[in-house]
Amino acid sequence: MTGTSRTIKVDTLARVEGEGSLYIKLVGERVTDVKLKIFEPPRMFEAFLRDRHFSEAADITARICGICPIAYQMSAVHAIERALGLRIDPAVRLLRRLFYCGEWIESHTLHVYMLHAPDFLNYADVIEMARDHREVVEKALRLKKIGNRIVQILGGREIHPISAAVGGFHRVPTKQQLRELVPDLEWALASSCEAVQWTSSLEFPIFEQDYEFVALRHPDEYPFNEGRLVSNRGLNIGAAEYEDHFQELHVKHSNALHSIMRGRGSYLVGPLARFNLNFDKLPAVAQEAATKVGLHPPVKNPFRSIIVRAVELVFACAEALRVIREYEPPAAARVEAPNRAGSGQAITEAPRGILYHRYALDDNGLILSSKIIPPTSQNQRRIEDDLREYASHLATWPLDEATWKCEQAIRNYDPCISCATHFLKLHVEREEK
């Protein structure tokens, strides 16, 4: 094999949200080039937002992604609330956490069962998997529906919710409306614990990397939408300092910008980062689910992210039940948000990792400029670094199998390419000399 040149190309990455393309060049066992290519007209949302009133930001940014609209809305409203100096009712804060629970449940369920699990069980897709594991897939559909239901009750509809607003919500649910979710959520909690067991029984490649994990950390809770930004290598900053420590780069082969830590390089955001940096903040039921299957931080094998997502499903169901138990409707659904010049930043934890928003407003409340950095673009460089290392392990594999394993390695990150670029078309070119 020494000196033999091989190229792994995937024309269309399957089972990722959006479109992406992969190119890997191997000479012998050495990976000489890796490109995760994103072919989509550059993101225009930051331009769409210019000169719009801040009250429209939640609606506009929700359309960046159909799978994680809540994270976009919440990052937007938090950043704008910071710019305006608004304080939020504690009941609204609770509802926002419930909102995240809904999104994490539907997003993680989709990824664990429909997008990622087929890889581990050697099925081409979930449809093939459903023929042999019907009960598992039916449970997944029911679990996803519960997440969708939370989003619908709080947000007004499942996709691109309409209720989130600067200062709170346009409308809040009654205690009774939320209580109706309890039986389903109790089922979901038990089902999620089973998901941890089930995913831990899958077979995982032996592959670990020395990552810099980056996630929010809050003194009292597993993070959704508040906290400082920390890493396992000493980072500890507020959202306002994000751009001092992180940089976006335009790379020739991609229309998604790559993010790096200044002076450091690639980093990893998402469930592994949150789990490794916040295990102590998980509720007991989630910690127990993890330790029962031998999962404890630091988890450095990205393939095991499927188990971590299942643990986060346990957390999201338990947290949803807690919020519903404690919730009392606020005196007002939202506080008034005056037009005022200012700027503000916010970071929240989308299912795939930290999502950064920054807004500058003028005296009339119009958006002068904005910046939106999604988790998948932050992970892009890290995905390529993983592939550079992992593909060298596959140098002696048949090309088809090696290609499929590389796609699986990308799916470890649950990439939402629609957020990162709004459609990435994957082209695989095969070349053997």
Stretch that binds other proteins, among 143-151, 174-182, 347-355, 406-414 (CB under 8 A): 143-151
426 binds other proteins (CB under 8 A): yes
Sign for the CA dihedral angle at 303, 410, 275, 198 comes to negative
Does 137 interact with other proteins (rule: CB under 8 A)?
yes
> Which segment (23-31, 59-67, 286-294, 339-347) binds other proteins by CB under 8 A?
59-67
**Spatial separation of the C-alpha atoms in residues 83 and 77, rounded to whole Å:** 10
Is 130 near other proteins (CB under 8 A)? yes
Helix (H) or strand (E) holding 140: helix 134-155
* By the rule CB under 8 A, 44 interacts with other proteins: yes
For the chain, the helix, strand and coil percentages under 3-state DSSP, each to the nearest 5: 45, 20, 35
Residue 159 interacts with other proteins (CB under 8 A): yes or no: yes
User: Which range touches other proteins (CB under 8 A), out of 13-21, 251-259, 345-353, 383-391?
Assistant: 13-21
How far is residue 141's CA from residue 305's CA, in Å, rounded to a whole number?
20
Which residues does residue 171 pair with via DSSP β-bridges, in sequence order? none
Task: Measure the CA–CA gap between 339 and 41, rounded to whole angstroms.
Answer: 33
Q: What's the rounded Cα separation, in Å, for the pair 112 and 290?
A: 16
Q: Encoding tokens for residue 74? A: 């919440």
Nearer to other proteins, 72 or 275 (CB): 72
Task: Extract the tokens encoding 270.
Answer: 């998402």
The angle formed by the CA atoms of residues 9, 12 and 14, to the nearest 5 degrees, is 115
d(CA 320, CA 328): 14
HSE-CB for 266 with a 13 A CA cutoff: 18
Binder among 125, 326, 336, 431 for other proteins (CB under 8 A): 125
Of residues 50, 53, 134, 264, which one binds other proteins by CB under 8 A? 134
Least distance in Å: CB of 44 to other proteins? 8
Q: According to the binding rule CB under 8 A, does residue 18 interact with other proteins?
A: yes
Q: Which of 92, 391, 410, 424 binds other proteins (CB under 8 A)?
A: 424
Q: Does 289 bind other proteins (CB under 8 A)?
A: no
Shortest Å distance, C-beta 281 to other proteins: 30
Query: What does the binding site for other proteins look like in residue numbers (CB under 8 A)?
Result: 12-14, 17-19, 41, 44, 48, 63, 66-67, 110, 114, 125-127, 130-131, 134, 137-138, 141, 144-145, 148, 157-160, 418, 422-426
